[in-house]
Structure 1
């Protein structure tokens, strides 16, 4: 393989489309991806959401057909979802449901609406903290993780907007604001990965309830959640300005931990130079997506344009390779990290940096595709290119 330098392809759209096409050719069905799960699973939703963004950007039917073919392996004629169990009350299981909106809007098939209703029913009954924050999962009582904000809040906001449920919009905004108020570090402005209201978890700080470190992809999930929720929150919603304000504050903080030499962000954000820490592709891609979309939508100050561009070129120069068959490969992507569940998931620095990286992990590939699309949209909007 040869390392691709950032200017090899002229526009970001070439990267988004070619990367998506490579993936679709290699895996006609997502379960063929050795990194993906055969069950209804959030990683499936990440890849299909990225491909849906390519479809929205191009109008090319092949992308929609790919989404429908893969979703229909799970969505049954009566709207039930194969291998999904509402009673798990797992926010991760909401993410793939985002693809039901374009399917229902384009086809009008009732099974997609029934599946949307089923996932919304989960959120109506989702266990909550004392301040109405969603537990990340039933098996993680009183815990809010930044990951969960991306998994569920954009779905909730879009459902509420689509079917005219104002209380759902209020709830989506509440989740965004509550987790920030609990996890934000006042010194760095960064957000801790998780918060345990009960204080029972070993990783929970005895006073704040927060986990001990700033994991890049956790903040990436949260940054993407904000810009995607804002797509559906009306301009006159009473919490919209506050959400945009905390987004600006957070994204300004993130630029101070961007690596100067590469434009990327570290696996543990504020531990530059620590043993084992590495520049990580999925979180970096998520940040680029959020910066570019935030700039395009005027949520962010224009001084952050340089941060977005530096991050994007860093991805191309340090995380992307193209093989002899012109297929795109993504490197430096963390395979997975979480809190609790198993004793070794203790939230320690050593835990985060020792979780293995994967080539072409779906979370990394999907975030990269979406980052490319948003960089293209930003360029088109600000420079009038087509």
Structure 2
């Protein structure tokens, strides 16, 4: 078996020196001012935070982080000219990151048994396949597709998030599932309606089991068997709303809407249902924003309580989803309570830039207040508020890049 660490080291040493960048596309950047999106992208690359290497091999979430960062940069370089906006080589890092994952992703059993995180890598792999049509990339995509179809599901057809946690479904799975399903249906099986049906069923189950009728927010996940000590006796729902889990769900909805409108990955009825979910949730998310900062607490619905704090990954995700929803016309004007959608997003974004982002001595950007990983093993309030806070976690920096990109498009007038 290939040693993934040695493989990644070889790639970093060789590809950066010999890989030919793609032809410049997108708008050039003014040398005198750097967009925060490009600056943070360069910072992640300079630290080698989003690649499988000796530094990251023990990170249980590295596969998700690489997939998230790669999909972020792929989008960014479709808007900006990577060669004038980036001081680092974005093209080579994308290739090296994708290649570093290949030994893991070609393990079918490993993909079936792994958390749903693994499907967040689909965009990174497809991007390289689209550029080179290398058979290995297609083999990886085929393996992921088989793994998705072979994964265990609950009695209602919802995916288990992780084989080791039978019958537990997490909001976290919505983003990788939606992303990979959209890629597969768009490029490989456009007439396969089962793909959309399976995806929509999973999104529906998460919403139906986990929805709080009083606030409109959605808790972290549910136990379909209702056997967990924390499971609601009627719905199986967990007790608390975790901001990043809800961020994954809201990002998945707005990205899925875009894919539905561009690539017809959903039927019209399904598209309208996703729109309703996205719109209603946008309003309830804004209702729960912190009055002072405009951002969101680690444990939503419990702002200001002891141990709770403004968390940057979920906050950045909401900024991204709200601004993208406004840019694409899914959100217009203000919430039913009179709060402007873009006003709410910009208030939080400005707080993040002014109070959470730091400029390091080496010229990179840092980001604080990102929670590490939260699961449904013991989802108490004390659990969520005591998990480690990671400085420069890709879970925070990648969504911040997306939020910055949307903010920059707004300032550039690229909004309807």
- Per-residue CA deviation, residues 317-355 of structure 1 (Å, 9 max, x unaligned), is 221010233210001111111112xxxxx1110000011
Q: Does 1:90 align with 2:115?
A: yes
Specify the alignment match of 2:348 in structure 1: 311
> Measured at CA, do residues 189 and 109 of structure 1 come closer, stay the same or move farther in structure 2, by a change above 3 Å?
same
For residues 48-103 of structure 1, what are the alpha-carbon distances to aligned partners after superposition, in whole Å with 9 as ceiling and x for unaligned? 22222222222426322211112112326xx9636971341531211122211211
Distance 1:123 1:28, change over 3 A: closer
- Shift, 1:109, TM fit: 1.3
Q: Mapping of 1:162-173 within 5 angstroms?
A: 162-163=187-188, 164=190, 165-173=192-200
- 1:48 corresponds to: 70
**Matched residues in 2 for 1:12 and 1:152: separation?**
37
Whole-angstrom distance in 2 between the partners of 1:318 and 1:227? 27
Alignment partner of 1:366 out of 398, 401, 409 = 398
Render the CA deviation track for 1:208-267: whole Å, top value 9, x for unaligned.
211110111110111111122223222753210111111111110011111111111000
Query: How do residues 317-356 of structure 1 correspond to structure 2 at under 5 angstroms?
Result: 317-340=354-377, 346-356=378-388
Counterpart of 1:301 in structure 2 is 332
Q: Residue 129 of structure 1 corresponds to which residue in structure 2?
A: 154
Q: Distance in 2 between matches of 1:377 and 1:371?
A: 10
Give the secondary-structure state (helix, strand or coil) at the position aligned to 2:232.
coil
**2:136 counterpart of 1:115:** no
Greater RCO between the two (CA within 8 Å, min separation 6)? Answer: 1
Match 1:220 to one of 227, 247, 257 = 247
Instruction: Please tell me whether residue 232 in structure 1 is matched to residue 254 in structure 2.
Output: no
Alpha-carbon spacing, 1:30–1:208, altered in 2? closer, same or farther (3 Å): same
Q: What runs of 5+ residues in structure 1 fail to find an aligned partner? A: 1-8, 341-345
Moved more, 270-279 or 65-74: 65-74
Change (3 A) 1:175 1:311: same
1:28 Cα deviation from its structure 2 partner: 8.1
**Matched-pair contact (CA < 8 Å) for 2:247–2:314:** yes
* Residues 320/11 of structure 1: CA separation in 2 closer, same or farther (3 Å cut): farther
Quote the residue 1:22 is aligned against: 43
Matches within 5 A, 1:156-305: 156-163=181-188, 164=190, 165-233=192-260, 234=264, 236-303=267-334, 304-305=341-342
Contact map agreement 1:46 1:96 (CA 8 A) in 2: yes
Which whole-Å deviations, capped at 9, do the CAs of 1:197-217 have from their partners, x for residues lacking one? 101112211222111101111
Residues 135 and 51 from structure 1, CA distance in 2 versus in 1: closer, same or farther, beyond 3 angstroms? same
Name the SS of the counterpart of 2:300 in structure 1: coil
What do the CA deviations read for 1:264-314 (whole angstroms, capped 9, x no partner)?
A: 100001111211100110110011111111111111232211111112112
Distance 1:380 1:86, change over 3 A: same
Q: Which runs of 4+ in 1 moved over 3 A?
A: 9-13, 31-40, 378-384
Q: Tell me if the contact between 1:183 and 1:192 (Cα under 8 Å) persists in the aligned partners.
A: yes
- Cα 1:80–1:199, aligned 2, differ >3 Å: closer, same or farther? closer
Of 23-32 and 199-208, deviating more is 23-32
**1:357 counterpart = 2:398:** no
Please identify, of 368-377 and 230-239, the stretch whose mean Cα deviation from structure 2 is larger. 230-239
SS at match of 1:19: helix
User: Does residue 173 of structure 2 align to residue 148 of structure 1?
Assistant: yes
- CA deviation profile, 1:158-200 (whole Å, cap 9, x unmatched): 2111112332122222222221111110000010101111011
Contact 1:80 1:114 in 2 (8 A): no
Would the aligned equivalents of 2:295 and 2:348 in 1 still touch at CA under 8 Å? yes
Deviations 1:118-162 (A, max 9, x none): 101111122122221111112222221000111222111221111
Question: Matches of 1:151 and 1:92 in 2, distance apart?
Answer: 6
Greater shift after overlay, 53-62 or 66-75? 53-62
Q: How many residues align?
A: 369
- Separation in 2, partners of 1:180, 1:12: 42
Asked if structure 2 preserves the Cα contact closer than 8 Å seen for 1:12 and 1:376, the reply is: no
- Conserved 8 A contact 1:157-1:172: no
